[in-house]
Amino acid sequence: MGGALSTDGAEQRASSGEELNQRLAHRFAAKCFEPLELTHLKENFFSRALDQHGIRYWNEEILSEFLGIPDGAGSAAAATSDGSLDAGPVIFRMVSYLGAFPFQNTMAPTVLTFESMVKVVVLLTERYGKVLKRGKKDRMKLLFGSLADVGRRDIITVLKEATEDSLESIGPSDPRSASPSTHNTGFLVDQPVNDEDEEDDDDLAIAALESLDAIEVFKHDQRIDKTVYESKISLTTFRRLLTLLLVTAPLRPLGRVSKFTTGLSKPSLDAVHEQVDSILAALDPGEASDGIGYKSFSKLVSTSLPYLFDPLTPLFEHLLFSKNLDLSRKRDSQTTNGLTSKPVPTPPSTPPLSPPLSPVISTGGFDSCILNPALLSHLSFFVSTNVHIPNIFRNRTHLHPVFSSTEHGESLTSFSHHVMTWQAPSILLVKGAVVSESSEEQLTTIGAYLPQPWKQTSSYSSRRSSEAPDPSTLPCLFELSPVHTVVQGSPSFSSLKSNMPVTHFSTKTGIAIGCMIPPSSRKSFGSDLHPKPAGGGSLLIDSALENATFIVSNGLNGPGVFLPPGISPVLSSTSLTASVPSMSSSNQNITKSADRRLI
């Protein structure tokens, strides 16, 4: 009797989970899409879906083909000869996990039905604000769970078995089976593990169900106490994802993905691989073989790559427009799969035009000898130029080359003439050879984002202390290669003493960013006049524009303009707005040496 009761309870919970899954998908569809978008999504999905036992679903080949992502098979297989862009399996793994939300523990990986795809599009295009109270906070955990593949059962086997088992369970072969189900035993990443130091990661899922009055059912289904992710992301998986994100970073809504994933020259692909290697080098060396743990993943993304997953938004927004849809024909008001929508207006005969979202790099005068598309994509993962639309590929940021030592000569006078008169934010890039004890030469690319114009004096315009900063108003120092490093500006930098400006320019000592400037006096001689490193990071370039010193400190240099690496500014408000119609790209080639020191 006890066994029978347990079975009935399990079936009831499974049924309740399926019902909640349907209701949640319906809520997502109603709240997060415009009626026309939902109509396009249905057209795209059902016109391509496979059918088995009356269930319509997508497999990996259909998903990759539609998104234009190389997957090692099909028409996009020859996108790159080395297979580094074959991210189809990675993306399919992600959506198979996210489609089970919020029941990843028992339903992931799930069959990609229409309901699953609705949730995937909402989560990956960040449209969850209307239905999830704490979506932004816990999206990181969902993304990690969707990528983790080390410590699980073989992921490909799981996906295939899950699809087969789910579809077979739907069929009429076993009349004693429960109601149609599309779940399985879940990923090991979601198995219960106790860790008192970890926050409960149920927040996002609970928020999704609060409005459905289904908290108790959800909590009964979830068996996670103080979750710590034992599973990890393999380096191969993360490398393929990074390659795809770097290549598609400039993608516009409704833009052709194949424009970025096919026909890449070897130099272009090598430049992308260099940036991928730089980001991976920022991880703990021990994770190269064991995989990337949740703490390392979360710290890397939240503190130095906050906009890493932005390219997924326009990629999955492709599902919200169908080129084949003709709404001039009369259609049955009843929609497929039980999801109804409001009457939709007649769409224009051509796709809606997107604004010019990619940064425009002016070619008038000279070309940058440092900045390339891969490096620009890397910058877009952490440089914010607008509080509302941080990503530089989507906020109409324009890049204007202002100064290059190759073009204008290694002269501070020339630098002052071109840069000091530029009344807009600027990006300073420095490339050179690292000075080391070994005879091997290693190139490095370092730089700074400066949201305020340069000043001749050591003063720096500051805001009132009562105004909370946003990322677009804070400077940052960075290293793009060989090791990705970002040193964020301190929210309190404007309250520092006047001898700690963000930028300092002197014909005698050169250029200093984030340094303490000694007071000048008759008794000061030689090295006493040189700027001193301060705070978490500093950049010094000598007066001959020949040597640069990039210094990163973990607090040894006291307070300063920049925070130590790995720390993100805590913003209490985002009330400030910053419209950046143009930026400068100040480039310097350090041809002799670039002295890089880590303290």
Q: Are 475 and 561 in contact (CB under 8 A)?
A: yes
Q: Which of 58-72, 217-231, 472-486 is predicted with the least confidence, judged by mean pLDDT? A: 217-231
Over residues 501-511, the mean pLDDT reads 89
Phi/psi for 21 (5° steps) reads: -60, -45
Q: Is 134 a residue whose pLDDT tops 90?
A: no
Q: Would you state the pLDDT for residue 149? A: 84
The three-class DSSP label of residue 51 is strand
pLDDT band of 556, cuts 50, 70, 90: confident
What tens digit of pLDDT does each residue of 168-227 get? 544 443 433 333 444 444 444 444 444 444 444 455 565 666 555 555 445 544 444 334
pLDDT band of 229, cuts 50, 70, 90: low
Q: Where are the domains of the chain?
A: 10-320, 362-598
**Hunting for tokens 């219960």 — which residue is that?**
192
What tens digit of pLDDT does each residue of 20-35 get? 788 888 988 998 999 9
Q: Is 383 a residue whose pLDDT tops 70?
A: yes
Q: Would you state the pLDDT for residue 482? A: 95
Q: Would you state the pLDDT for residue 23? A: 85
Over residues 147-152, the mean pLDDT reads 78
Could you tell me the pTM of the whole model?
A: 0.80
Range 271-282 burial, b when 16+ CB lie within 10 A, else e: bbbbbbebbbeb
pLDDT band of 68, cuts 50, 70, 90: very high
Ranges of beta strands (E only) in 354-424 are 360-361, 398-404
Q: Is 520 a residue whose pLDDT tops 80?
A: no
Q: Would you state the pLDDT for residue 16? A: 64
Q: Would you state the pLDDT for residue 220? A: 42
Better pLDDT: 321 or 230: 321
Q: Is 349 a residue whose pLDDT tops 50?
A: no
Highest mean pLDDT among 170-174, 290-294, 341-345: 290-294
The mean pLDDT value of the chain amounts to 75
Q: Which amino acid is at 479?
A: E
Q: Would you state the pLDDT for residue 319? A: 95
Please give the structure tokens belonging to residue 546.
């020949």
Q: Are 465 and 489 in contact (CB under 8 A)?
A: no
Over residues 426-437, the mean pLDDT reads 87
pLDDT band of 337, cuts 50, 70, 90: low
Range 118-139 burial, b when 16+ CB lie within 10 A, else e: bbbbbbbbebbeebbeebeebb
Over residues 323-343, the mean pLDDT reads 55
CA distances, 233 to each of 82, 149, 184, 204, 221 (Å): 21, 5, 21, 21, 25
Q: Which of 180-184, 363-367, 371-375 is predicted with the least confidence, judged by mean pLDDT? A: 180-184
Q: Would you state the pLDDT for residue 89? A: 94
Q: Which of 17-26, 132-141, 349-358 is predicted with the least confidence, judged by mean pLDDT? A: 349-358
Q: Would you state the pLDDT for residue 1? A: 44
CA distances, 107 to each of 18, 200, 222 (Å): 9, 20, 11
In sequence order, the 6+-apart residues with CB closer than 8 A to the CB of 307 are: 380, 381, 382, 384, 390, 391
**Of the candidates 90, 110, 92, the residue with the CA atom closest to the CA atom of residue 24:** 110
**Of the candidates 125, 481, 505, the residue with the CA atom closest to the CA atom of residue 271:** 481
Over residues 76-98, the mean pLDDT reads 80
Better pLDDT: 7 or 59: 59
Q: Break the chain down into helix, strand, coil percent, rounded to 5.
A: 35, 15, 50
Q: Would you state the pLDDT for residue 253? A: 83
